[in-house]
């Protein structure tokens, strides 16, 4: 049994809630274990004047935590799974996925109860190219502007009137007891969630096999299988903050229903795919994800990805 474990975590209020959640779970399984949290500030937390797609993507939120594990200052790191790159650096592995919270996007606004009632010119804030593409496709009359910072910072910008509404992950709001800020939950059919949205992932060094065994009870198999299918789509298509890509799996009895899309940020072009099938293992889930990614590519997703790559290489206008 473990005697002492150190969890590396970002220092935002939501990240610390997630780390405390994992600590409580570990102490339930290992009551005599001393579990502590090492709070850290990452590059992703420090750079707030540019979108993630411009400054290096999701890895900016995990690099410092991985360094702490490499140096032996921490044993594990807790992440919002949607922020974890599809390919981890050599020497690290995603060893557990905990039960998922609500994976949907949420509308937060003091003025409007729905996106449909917003007049032309209303400013909507989002940190995600995926959400931006969905919004521009459905509501071309709205003004979409970038929104960075931790959850409290984003809510503060809304409350100061910088935005008419903002779109956030429902999971974070609910975990922090801020569910009353949600004016509307956006159906996946209208705003398909990101791969892994609402789930917590635990990362460790790949050489810590004993740690993987200790953390195994925290795995929630239905969530693990669902997010494995989602991440397989994103991995096949090179999913990152630079790619407006969504992948969302839902259980229908013993079958997994997977929907995905890839789009241009302006919403002018989208490619969608869907698959359903029985899933019992991670390999089954990844096979469905790979099949959906193949369907997207067959429908022209490679052209969308090429256009995104060209725009990225050209740089900002």
> What separation in angstroms does the CA of 11 have from each of 39, 154, 186, 190?
5, 16, 28, 32
Q: Which of 83, 102, 105, 259 is catalytic?
A: 83
Closest CA relative to residue 179, chosen from 119, 239, 101, 100: 101
pTM of the model: 0.89
Judge whether 125 and 163 are in contact, CB under 8 Å: yes
The domain of 115 spans 105-186
Judge whether 256 and 279 are in contact, CB under 8 Å: yes
> What string of pLDDT tens digits covers the 317 residues of the chain?
889 999 999 888 999 999 999 999 999 999 999 999 999 876 545 444 444 444 444 556 678 899 999 999 999 999 999 988 888 999 999 999 999 999 999 999 999 999 999 999 999 999 889 999 999 999 999 999 999 888 999 999 999 999 999 999 999 999 999 999 999 999 999 999 999 999 999 999 999 999 999 999 999 999 999 999 999 999 999 765 578 899 999 999 889 999 999 999 888 899 999 999 999 999 999 999 999 999 999 999 988 888 877 655 444 33
Helix residue ranges, H only, 30-150: 43-46, 52-55, 63-70, 129-138
283: Cβ contacts below 8 Å, ≥ 6 apart: none
Clarify whether residues 76 and 213 are in a common domain: yes
What's the number of domains the chain is made of? Answer: 3
**Residue 191 within a domain:** no
22: Cβ contacts below 8 Å, ≥ 6 apart: 7, 76, 78, 98, 200, 202, 218
To the query of whether residue 34 is one of the catalytic residues in this protein, the response is no
**Residue 24 within a domain:** yes
Clarify whether residues 126 and 266 are in a common domain: no
**Residue 192 within a domain:** no
Judge whether 212 and 204 are in contact, CB under 8 Å: yes
Quote the radius of gyration of the chain (alpha carbons, Å). Answer: 19
Clarify whether residues 213 and 71 are in a common domain: yes
Report the distance separating Cα 277 and Cα 287, nearest Å: 10
Report the distance separating Cα 132 and Cα 52, nearest Å: 13
Judge whether 200 and 18 are in contact, CB under 8 Å: yes
**Residue 294 within a domain:** yes
Residue 33's φ and ψ, nearest 5 degrees, are -85, 135
Clarify whether residues 316 and 224 are in a common domain: yes
């Amino acid at each position: 049994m473990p005697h002492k474990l150190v969890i590396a975590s970002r220092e935002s209020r939501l990240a610390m809630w997630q780390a405390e959640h994992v600590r409580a779970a570990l102490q339930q399984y290992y009551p005599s274990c001393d579990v502590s949290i090492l709070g850290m500030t990452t590059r992703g937390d420090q750079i707030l004047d540019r979108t993630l797609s411009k400054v290096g993507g999701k890895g900016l939120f995990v690099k410092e935590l991985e360094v702490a594990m490499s140096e032996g200052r921490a044993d594990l790191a807790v992440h919002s799974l949607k922020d974890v790159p599809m390919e981890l650096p050599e020497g690290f592995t995603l060893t557990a996925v905990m039960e998922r919270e609500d994976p949907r996007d949420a509308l937060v606004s003091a003025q409007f109860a729905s996106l449909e009632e917003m007049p032309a010119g209303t400013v909507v804030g989002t940190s995600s190219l995926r959400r931006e593409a969905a919004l521009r496709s459905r509501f071309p009359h709205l003004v979409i502007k970038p929104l960075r910072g931790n959850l409290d910072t984003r809510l503060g910008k809304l409350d100061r009137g910088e935005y008419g509404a903002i779109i956030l992950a429902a999971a974070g709001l609910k975990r922090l007891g801020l569910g009353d800020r949600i004016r509307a939950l956006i159906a996946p059919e209208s705003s398909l969630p990101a791969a892994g949205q609402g789930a917590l992932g635990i990362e460790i060094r790949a050489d810590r096999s004993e740690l993987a065994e200790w953390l195994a009870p925290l795995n929630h198999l239905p969530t693990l299988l669902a997010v494995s299918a989602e991440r397989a789509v994103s991995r096949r298509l090179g999913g990152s903050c630079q790619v407006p890509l969504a992948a969302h799996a839902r259980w229908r009895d013993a079958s997994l229903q997977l929907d995905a899309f890839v789009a241009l940020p302006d919403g002018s072009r989208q490619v969608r795919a869907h698959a359903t099938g029985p899933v019992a293992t991670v390999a089954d889930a990844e096979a469905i994800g790979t099949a959906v990614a193949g369907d997207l590519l067959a429908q022209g997703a490679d052209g969308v990805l090429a256009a995104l790559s060209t725009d990225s290489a050209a740089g900002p206008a």
